[in-house]
Amino acid sequence: MSELEELVQSLEDGNSEKVVELTKRLLGAGASPQTVLNNGLIVGMGVVGEKMRIGEMYLPEVLQSATAMHASLKILKPLLAKDGVEPLGRIVMGTVKGDIHDIGKNLVGILLQGAGFEIVDLGVNVTPQKFVDAIEQQAPAMLAISAMLTTTMLNMKGVIEAIGGAGHRSKVKIIVGGAPVSEKFAEEIGADGYARDAVKAVDKVKELLAIG
């Protein structure tokens, strides 16, 4: 097993200490930060996402893998920035006003970051204006809006209307998700896309941003 394969396996196992050790060892042996990211972390988190999809991994294990990923990214990010390596795109995400559920949103963020995107997480109970401000300040390629209640999912429409009212609708793609949300509802409120789970969210974001 190569050290990159070992990194993938250690990431899957959620072994932060080993992931950090292998990240440093690979860099020390001359591997580029982008190689470690693309062929190690992104491949590993892809495996984690697929195993979660088929029921071979569950939330606690995914969170362990995410912790290991972040430990490696802490080493890689300054080096990637120095080399001028850009993320696939910036995504602003948040749970709508009145809703404090964040497990699903956090999981989507983990898998998107693992796929190579930069994530700006606004948290929960986010007002329409805060989403608008984030578009103006962060210039994201994508906005990911979450709601877990039938009562709060209606606030997604208010977010999209606020973005349109501020003149930013054409600047950003919008994807929505959460337990009560459906593809039909996403179409009705004018979102660009819908994902029923975290793994599908990664696929849908890549599709909407035309990333192969």
Structural domains of the chain sorted by starting position, each given as residue range(s) with its CATH number in brackets: 3-82 (1.10.1240.10), 90-208 (3.40.50.280)
pLDDT of residue 85: 87
**How much is the pLDDT for 212?**
72
The pLDDT assigned to 72 comes to 96
7-64, pLDDT tens digit by residue? 999 999 999 999 999 999 999 999 999 999 999 999 999 999 999 989 999 999 999 9
Mean pLDDT, all residues of the chain:
96
Which residues of the chain register pLDDT less than 70?
Answer: none
Instruction: Give the single-character DSSP code of 169.
Output: G
From the CB of residue 1, how many other CB atoms can be counted at a distance below 10 Å? Answer: 8
Q: How much is the pTM?
A: 0.90
Predicted confidence at residue 4, as pLDDT, reads 95
Return phi, psi of residue 190, to 5°.
Answer: 90, 20
> 54: Cβ–Cβ under 8 A, 6 or more apart, which residues?
none
Dihedral sign computed on CA atoms, order 39, 40, 41, 46? positive
Note the pLDDT of residue 14.
97
